Amino acid sequence: MHILVCGGAGYVGAHAALAATRAGHDITVLDNFSTGHRPAVRWGRLVEADILKPETLDAAFERPVDAVMHFCARSLVGESVQEPYAYYENNVMGTLNLLQAMRQHDVGKLVFSSTAAIFGNPVSALIDEDHPKAPINPYGASKLMVERILADAASAYGLRSTCLRYFNAAGAAPEEGIGESHQPETHLIPNVLRAALGTGPELRIFGDDYDTVDGTCVRDYVHVLDLADAHLRALGLMSDVDGAHAFNLGNGQGFSVRQVLEAGRQVSGREIPHVQAARRDGDPAVLVASSSKARSVLGWNPVHTQLESIIDSAWRWHQAQAY
Ligand code: UFG
């Protein structure tokens, strides 16, 4: 297949581009490099374009496209509260521009990068696809709006789509030179490893009074290559079945911030300078996925399930960090 990877210079997008290439697909990466990294574009051809500038999108469809994977998004929860217009503009209007370009060019399959943030505060220990969707910030709301648009597009235009709701994407592909790097970096594992290396400030642990095993927040860390694999499986599903699909992707096991810190210490063999800090706004205490639907329908079977091996891949990339 020829796959258009929108946002393929970003963290999950670059790993999806790698996985698609390894699976024998031909890819085109579309990116505007607002947050993506040029050195992360290592596979396929590149079209520099912007989903907020519809006139730039045609170039990406010059060669017939069989399916689109869409990763272009603003994705910082805190920033979304401060700048909601930017989030609705980029994540909703930008996606509509892309969907219209797909329609014009007769492209009928989309894998959409969604998030656990569509669920808001969990009301059950494991979050499955039927869990109430009540986002508590503009980022989650913007992604949920797109999920709704895709359901409507399935009915109106027969668009086939799969929304993949990532829990906490983590890890890297160090042997391929790609990993996680955001500016500013807000994510836990990169911040732990940068503190270990001395390339970042001491780690701040946000909150110690949550109702969890040790008072710090619990998250479900899932390796980015396992997420990438789910995208390929979603393409397979859409070859057989029409409609709009959605899957929650996590390992089904939660780790606290302190457990991640300890795993980072063990993997790196270094002390990690850290301080206790106040809670961060908008952080639910626990977010853990039930991915049984992905396992049964997509046959998704994550292979990098140990927290230490996830952190180890990130550690090896951070040590040789190329961008
Ligand atoms: N944390 C720290 N110190 C840091 C960074 C994070 O203590 O320097 C804590 C956070 O407070 C949180 C946990 O580590 O409890 C994980 O934080 P991340 O920022 O790594 O990830 P989030 O769980 O906040 O974000 C993820 C996805 C988002 C999604 C969100 C839903 O990355 O896309 O879950 O809440 F929106």
Given a cut of 90, is residue 5 above it in pLDDT? yes
> How much is the average pLDDT of 10-21?
98
pLDDT digit string, tens, across residues 29-61: 999 999 999 999 999 999 999 999 999 999 999
Q: pLDDT band at residue 21, thresholds of 50, 70 and 90?
A: very high
Alpha carbon of 206 to ligand 1 centroid (Å): 9
Ligand 1 atom having least distance to the Cα of 277: 7
Q: Is the CB of 76 under 6 A from ligand 1?
A: no
Strand pairing partners for 223? 170
> How much is the average pLDDT of 26-31?
98
pTM value > 0.85: yes
Average of per-residue pLDDT values in the chain:
97
Given a cut of 90, is residue 310 above it in pLDDT? yes
Ligand 1 atom having least distance to the Cα of 280: 11
Residue 216 token pair: 């710090």
Query: Looking at the domain that runs over 174-219+252-320, which CATH code has it been given?
Result: 3.90.25.10
Alpha carbon of 71 to ligand 1 centroid (Å): 19
pLDDT digit string, tens, across residues 152-175: 999 999 999 999 999 999 999 999
Q: Is the CB of 238 under 6 A from ligand 1?
A: no
Q: Is the CB of 6 under 6 A from ligand 1?
A: no
Helix and strand numbers (H, E) in the chain are 10, 14
Alpha carbon of 188 to ligand 1 centroid (Å): 6
Residue identifier of the C-alpha nearest atom 6 of ligand 1: 188
Q: pLDDT band at residue 145, thresholds of 50, 70 and 90?
A: very high
Residue 206 token pair: 């946000």
Given a cut of 90, is residue 322 above it in pLDDT? no
Domain ranges of the chain: 2-170+223-249, 174-219+252-320
Given a cut of 90, is residue 244 above it in pLDDT? yes
The distance between the two most distant Cα atoms of the chain, rounded to a whole number of Å, is 56
pLDDT digit string, tens, across residues 87-121: 999 999 999 999 999 999 999 999 999 999 999 99
Q: Output the pLDDT for position 45.
A: 97
- List, by residue number, the catalytic residues: 139
Radius of gyration (C-alpha) of the chain in whole angstroms: 19
Residue identifier of the C-alpha nearest atom 25 of ligand 1: 168
Q: Output the pLDDT for position 237.
A: 98
Given a cut of 90, is residue 319 above it in pLDDT? yes
Alpha carbon of 59 to ligand 1 centroid (Å): 36
Q: Is the CB of 279 under 6 A from ligand 1?
A: no
| DSSP H or E segment with residue 255 | strand 255-256
Alpha carbon of 187 to ligand 1 centroid (Å): 5
Contact 36, 100 (CB under 8 A): no
Given a cut of 90, is residue 85 above it in pLDDT? yes
Q: Output the pLDDT for position 321.
A: 85
Q: pLDDT band at residue 215, thresholds of 50, 70 and 90?
A: very high
Q: Is the CB of 258 under 6 A from ligand 1?
A: no
Q: Is the CB of 69 under 6 A from ligand 1?
A: no
CATH 3.90.1300.10 fits 2-170+223-249, yes or no: no
pLDDT digit string, tens, across residues 261-308: 999 999 999 999 999 999 998 889 999 999 999 999 999 999 999 999
Alpha helices, H only, the chain: 11-22, 77-82, 84-87, 94-104, 138-157, 188-197, 224-240, 257-268, 292-293, 307-319
Ligand 1 atom having least distance to the Cα of 216: 15
Q: Output the pLDDT for position 8.
A: 98
